[in-house]
Amino acid sequence: MSIIDLTSMAEPEGEQQDKINEILKTLKEDIPNDCYQCGKCTSGCEAFILLELEPHKVMALSKSGFIDELLNSDVIWTCVTCLKCKERCPQDLAPVDVIFALKNIAVASGKQIDTGISNMLQSVLGSGYIQQPKEVVDKDNKAVTRDSLGLPSLPAPKEIQKLQQVLMKAATETLG
């Protein structure tokens, strides 16, 4: 089974469904309970300006039970894990943890994951890099590549097999 298979699994069952239920219970009952919607998390969120991620809304929606809506939304995939929401929260809450839990449920439930993330995973597994070298445009508006600049091909990262094993292990580990 590849990591891509793991991100597109069919309906969860048995033990996996129990884990999802456990996370859902935590999401609904525990994590967002002390959030008083001050918005400090969102005002410092690195993904807010460009990607419209509003962690305080994620907290409110989780608490109100709109889990499916969040799981089907692109918004949970825009978090860049900067952890600022966790640092800034006066209530010692961590919207980032809620978002991680939602992402875990989305993957375990076989929901469509963000294309950019699945492309990145495929690239890391295939070559060890998060993306392949790209053609860019220089100051004269001319397209250049590593080849055209006379640069050598990128060497494969050291210990790529170890990296792949770690990724697979992380993907198959227990949720939460």
Joined tokens for residue 162: 């170890």
AA identity, residue 131: Q
**Which of 22, 46 has the CB closer to ligand SF4?**
46
- CB-CB contact of 155 with 127 (8 Å): no
- We find the least distance from the C-beta atom of residue 86 to ligand SF4, in angstroms, to be 7
Residue in 7, 23, 70, 95 binding ligand SF4, rule: CB under 6 A: 95
Is residue 132 within the footprint of ligand SF4 (CB under 6 A)?
no
Residue in 12, 23, 56, 101 binding ligand SF4, rule: CB under 6 A: 56
Is residue 81 within the footprint of ligand SF4 (CB under 6 A)?
yes
Show the binding pattern over residues 7-46: x = contacts ligand SF4 (CB under 6 A), - = does not: ----------------------------xxxxxxx--xxx
Is residue 93 within the footprint of ligand SF4 (CB under 6 A)?
yes
Is residue 128 within the footprint of ligand SF4 (CB under 6 A)?
no
Is residue 75 within the footprint of ligand SF4 (CB under 6 A)?
no
Residues in the chain: 176
Q: 57: number of CA atoms within 13 Å, CB side? A: 12
Q: What angle do CA 59, 172, 162 make, to 5 degrees?
A: 115
Q: What residues make contact with ligand SF4 under the rule CB under 6 A? A: 35-41, 44-47, 53, 55-56, 59, 79-85, 88-89, 91, 93, 95-96, 99
